[in-house]
Structure 1
Amino acid sequence: MTEKYPYDLILFDLDGTLIETAPEIADAVNDTLQRFDLPPVTQQQVNDWIGHGTRTLLIQALAEVGHTTVEAVQAADNFPQIEAAFGVHYEQRCGTRSHLYPHVRETLQALRAEGVKLVVMTNKEGRYTQVVLDAHQMAPLFDRVISGDTLPVKKPNPAGIFDCLKQFSVSSERTLFVGDSSIDVATARNANVTVWALPYGYNMGEAIESCHPDRVISDLSALTAGLVSAV
């Protein structure tokens, strides 16, 4: 790895950072709602709910259409059945309407070729994370995948970052987190690592600049600038 490149480890959020997944998540949610004779939710609602994991998103959707609370949804006798149905629908929908954002694949390939360790750190449950990565042939590009249920805690808890620092013997000063939401910025801040943010993802309806990341980048090609200058 070039000594001029400032990072040895880069962690990435998944939904809204590497892959545009919101359309097919909305499809799966509405497939599930229709199955139980419930009204649909909008794409914008789904966009604004993304960030805390797919299970939480489903609960928020059910609370919205049922005009009730998330606590009532979780306590409902039929919630396990609804959650299981959603799992089937989402696995069927994965890869049908999602796509990589510009410059994602080539940027990851360039960083990997340079020896930078690459990690996905998402709050999406592991079985869905794997399906999404496989649908886009992305899994081989990463040295580790941390999903919302990989560890006992999830973002914005920094445990996943700390675990990677230890696993790859990298200092926090040589680590970068790249995401698209206030959750990602908070996660990086909690681990005392640099955080760059993308403006095109899902930040619960708020502009990413309001989260005050260290840098806002237009797309992932900004990550290879150090590699180009070092050639």
Structure 2
Amino acid sequence: MKTLLVSLLLLFNLQECESNNQTNTVKEIPSEELAKYETAYFASGCFWCVEAIYESLEGVKEVVSGYSGGKEKNPTYQQVGSHKTGHTEAVEVYYDPTVISFATLVKVFYGSQDPTTVGQQPDFGDSYRSVIFYKNAEEKTIADAAKAAIAKDYKKPIVTEIVPFEKFWKAEDYHQNYEKLNPNQPYVRSVSIPRLNRFKAKFPELLKEGE
């Protein structure tokens, strides 16, 4: 009975990542200002969690939640959630390379998830898979080297995909800054915030002042 109750609670919490359309009240940074920064693209589970992790980093200006890795144009949250588009929930990270490097962003990527789980971070399905989208040969080399380096730390194989970046589609407005705007939402409270806090405890030296 206890196992059944735990399973039902987990299912409820995971499903919460698929609900609650709320209005975004955080002011967006103008595109001309963001153009000054480099971009990087990652996926490792629900983008609410991943966005909050990268937002906490010194040197990161902005993080946008969205979709990447599939062929569907202008995908919606419902389409991606159906696991039929090939897209995964991803984030677009705007960062200052004079403050934080792409290699450090990759370190954060691997250090804030379990890279041995297939489509489960902890959410289930291919739209939650672990992916680094590289834009050039240098990024691919860094990503491949990091993957090989951490392999010795796990008994199971690293399943992270390292694939060329093609296109990033911004998610609906209500997904942006979701964890910050909805701290009491059940999924955020039980999954996103604990995941963020585990990351902060692991990498305090990378955090913005006050995080």
What's the TM-score, normalizing by structure 1?
A: 0.28
Structure with higher Rg: it is: 1
Structure with the larger helix share: 1
Greater strand proportion: 2
So what's the TM-score if we normalise by structure 2? 0.29
